């Protein structure tokens, strides 16, 4: 077994190991029954952390390529399950289907194993998470939701379990128009589509707009999950870079618009994911004007609009649009919790109609109870009240993280303090190995998302995304302390490699 790892690649080392073992199994180099070296031994030989090898083995096991047996170690499984000593219940001559070969092409492009694998990294029990933004509604909201649900069961007991129109309950669509008014958006109920979470919005837009080969412009960096969805439909993504203030380079955008004809421009102008920054009003206006001029459309993803802690509200691009060039996507998940599965989309009627056909095929309609409950929360004013609580809570957490980042300052690490949203986007000191940082942070008991998957074209490993809204207040300082320790660990290890056994990383091993 000949494994070569390179620390220069943007591919995490555990994936480099996974890929090479997988290839060796497929090309027959490692036959069924071959015993792989124990994790610890392979880790020593490759000069990597043991958890790196562990992660590679976990991936290969989940793919059904290897298995660990007590007393026998980790062995390569037969590629064709028919070769195994068949279970006694099986009819002679038959075997389970070769599932891998049956899966569609796009089902492989769909999954980004990196993020899933990172999230499944073995963590310490006391680990502090700055990775995913899954809010906790808190005890106060829980009580309110319970009360509203009680009332709902009395008032709507008949219709609570029945189907609704695919587009959603009309009175909820009206309530959402009221909610959008506060953002400066004037839309009619017929221009609103209720979604089972905003992820579904991305999915439906992908179905309805993207043909293989279509070009999509995105901000560089942008939300990885949306990019993943576009890519899975065969779209070609092109990233529009930002200037040093984080504002979109409109000059570059314009020359790219003239050259390529993108199907759409996907942006998150307010408290962007991952950068946390806000697109200036002036830039929004010129972006919209360019969309008009080059006859393309804008998809504005706006989950964090209501979460501003300082500065002034900048109206959504959708609010400025006079020629129906914007499809607007938003959600209540960041306010109430992901469990409700509720989001919405605002667009011209003809677009809503086409998206509703796609939604009908996807899930017929959104949970009736979630729809009625959300309508009550908006109309009763409880959502507004709760939003004020959340703003205070998240603002406090942001301040705690900002304070901790100052306190445990790392030379060469830069970041911009956001005015809202839930993320701080940090640029790490030059030359730091992102994958190693990831594993060392896990060892130290803190997690976050690495910046790499947020880039559409050129992967940049220098960034990390820290979520401040979901960690407990009293753990934020400690979390940042651990993170900074992990940074130092990684810098020290690098120095060691550079002075000591640096060449080893590129040598063929075993």
Under rule CB under 8 A, which residues in 284-343 are in contact with a copy of itself? 292-293, 295-297, 322-325, 336-341
Q: Is 78 in the site for a copy of itself (CB under 8 A)?
A: no
Q: Are 238 and 218 in contact (CB under 8 A)?
A: yes
- CB of 365 or CB of 465, closer to a copy of itself: 365
User: Whole-number minimum distance, CB 225 to a copy of itself, in Å?
Assistant: 8
User: Whole-number minimum distance, CB 64 to a copy of itself, in Å?
Assistant: 6
Q: Is 85 in the site for a copy of itself (CB under 8 A)?
A: no
User: Among 181-189, 252-260, 364-372, 391-399, which window interacts with a copy of itself (CB under 8 A)?
Assistant: 364-372
- CB of 324 or CB of 443, closer to a copy of itself: 324
- The number of beta carbons lying within 10 Å of the beta carbon of residue 16 is 21
Binding mask 117-146 for a copy of itself (x = CB under 8 A): -----------------x-xx---xx--xx
Q: Is 4 in the site for a copy of itself (CB under 8 A)?
A: no
User: Among 368-376, 417-425, 454-462, 476-484, which window interacts with a copy of itself (CB under 8 A)?
Assistant: 368-376
User: Among 20-28, 350-358, 400-408, 413-421, which window interacts with a copy of itself (CB under 8 A)?
Assistant: 350-358
Secondary structure E strands in 297-354 = 297-301, 326-331, 343-346
Candidate residues 38, 47, 348, 505; the one interacting with a copy of itself per rule CB under 8 A: 348
Cα separation, 437 vs 340, whole angstroms: 35
- CB of 89 or CB of 244, closer to a copy of itself: 89
Nearest to 303 by CA among 170, 183, 463: 183
**Where in 379-438 is the site for a copy of itself (CB under 8 A)?**
none
User: Among 216-224, 237-245, 363-371, 395-403, which window interacts with a copy of itself (CB under 8 A)?
Assistant: 363-371
Token pair of 383 as six digits: 């959502």
User: Whole-number minimum distance, CB 472 to a copy of itself, in Å?
Assistant: 14
Q: Which residues contact 368 (CB under 8 A, 6 or more apart)?
A: 159, 160, 161, 162, 163, 164, 169
Candidate residues 8, 69, 85, 91; the one interacting with a copy of itself per rule CB under 8 A: 91
- CB of 67 or CB of 363, closer to a copy of itself: 363
Q: Are 322 and 313 in contact (CB under 8 A)?
A: no
| Cα distances (Å, whole numbers) of residue 48 to 3, 13, 45, 66, 360 | 12, 8, 8, 21, 49
| Cα distances (Å, whole numbers) of residue 158 to 155, 277, 340, 412 | 8, 45, 20, 62
Binding mask 252-281 for a copy of itself (x = CB under 8 A): -----------xx-----------------
- CB of 413 or CB of 470, closer to a copy of itself: 470
**How many residues line the site for a copy of itself (CB under 8 A)?**
90
Paired sense of beta strands 297-301 and 264-267, if any: parallel
Q: CA 5: distance to chain centroid?
A: 27
User: Whole-number minimum distance, CB 409 to a copy of itself, in Å?
Assistant: 34
User: Among 18-26, 83-91, 250-258, 379-387, which window interacts with a copy of itself (CB under 8 A)?
Assistant: 83-91
Candidate residues 129, 196, 270, 469; the one interacting with a copy of itself per rule CB under 8 A: 196
Cα separation, 193 vs 85, whole angstroms: 53
Q: Are 434 and 461 in contact (CB under 8 A)?
A: yes
Nearest to 393 by CA among 334, 328, 313, 319: 334
User: Whole-number minimum distance, CB 287 to a copy of itself, in Å?
Assistant: 14
Binding mask 210-249 for a copy of itself (x = CB under 8 A): xx--x----------x--xx--xx----------------
Q: Is 165 in the site for a copy of itself (CB under 8 A)?
A: no
Cα separation, 109 vs 233, whole angstroms: 8
3-state helix, strand, coil in the chain (%, to 5): 45, 15, 40
- CB of 6 or CB of 360, closer to a copy of itself: 360
**Where in 15-74 is the site for a copy of itself (CB under 8 A)?**
62, 64
Burial of 37 (0-12, 13-18, 19+ CB in 10 A): middle
Q: Is 149 in the site for a copy of itself (CB under 8 A)?
A: yes
- The number of beta carbons lying within 10 Å of the beta carbon of residue 215 is 17
């Amino acid at each position: 077994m000949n494994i070569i790892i390179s620390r220069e690649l943007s591919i995490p080392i555990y994936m480099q190991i996974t890929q090479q073992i997988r290839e060796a199994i497929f090309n027959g180099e490692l036959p069924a029954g071959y015993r792989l070296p124990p994790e610890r031994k392979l880790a020593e030989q490759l000069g990597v952390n043991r958890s790196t090898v562990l992660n590679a083995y976990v991936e290969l096991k989940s793919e059904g390529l290897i298995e660990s047996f007590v007393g026998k170690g980790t062995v390569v499984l037969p590629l064709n399950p028919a070769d195994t000593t068949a279970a006694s219940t099986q009819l002679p001559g038959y075997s389970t289907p070769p599932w891998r070969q049956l899966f569609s092409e796009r089902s492989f492009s769909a999954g980004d194993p990196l993020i899933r694998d990172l999230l499944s990294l073995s963590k310490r029990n006391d680990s502090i998470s700055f990775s995913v933004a899954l809010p906790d509604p808190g005890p106060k909201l829980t009580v309110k939701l319970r009360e509203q649900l009680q009332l709902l069961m009395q008032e709507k007991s008949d219709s609570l379990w029945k189907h609704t129109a695919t587009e959603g309950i009309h009175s909820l669509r009206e309530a959402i128009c009221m909610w959008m008014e506060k953002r400066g958006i004037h839309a009619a109920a017929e221009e609103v589509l209720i979604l089972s979470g905003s992820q579904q919005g991305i999915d439906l837009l992908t179905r309805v707009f993207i043909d293989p080969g279509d070009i999509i412009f995105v901000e560089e960096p942008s939300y990885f999950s949306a990019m993943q969805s576009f890519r899975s439909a065969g779209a070609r993504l092109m990233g529009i870079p930002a200037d040093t203030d984080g504002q979109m380079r409109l000059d570059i955008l314009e020359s790219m618009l003239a050259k390529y004809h993108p199907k759409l421009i996907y942006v998150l102008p307010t408290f962007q994911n991952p950068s946390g920054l806000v697109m200036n009003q002036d830039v929004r206006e010129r972006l919209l004007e360019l969309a008009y001029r080059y006859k393309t459309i804008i998809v504005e993803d706006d989950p964090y609009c209501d979460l501003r802690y300082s500065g002034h509200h900048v109206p959504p691009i959708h609010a400025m649009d006079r020629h129906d060039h914007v499809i607007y996507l938003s959600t209540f998940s960041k306010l109430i919790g992901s469990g409700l599965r509720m989001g919405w989309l605002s667009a011209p009627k003809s677009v809503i109609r086409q998206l509703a056909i796609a939604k009908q095929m996807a899930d017929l309609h959104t949970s009736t109870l979630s729809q009625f409950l959300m309508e009550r929360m908006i109309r009763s004013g409880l959502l507004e009240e709760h939003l004020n609580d959340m703003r205070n809570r998240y603002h406090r957490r942001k301040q705690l993280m900002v304070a901790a980042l100052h306190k445990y300052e790392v030379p060469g690490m830069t970041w911009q303090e956001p005015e809202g949203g839930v993320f701080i986007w940090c640029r790490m000191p030059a030359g730091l190995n992102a994958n190693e940082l990831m594993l060392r942070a896990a060892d130290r008991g803190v997690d976050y998302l690495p910046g790499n998957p947020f880039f559409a074209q050129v992967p940049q490993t220098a960034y990390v995304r820290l979520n401040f809204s979901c960690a407990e207040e009293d753990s934020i300082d400690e979390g940042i302390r651990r993170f900074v320790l992990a940074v130092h660990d990684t810098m020290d290890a690098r120095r060691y490699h550079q002075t000591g056994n640096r060449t080893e990383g590129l040598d063929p091993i075993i």
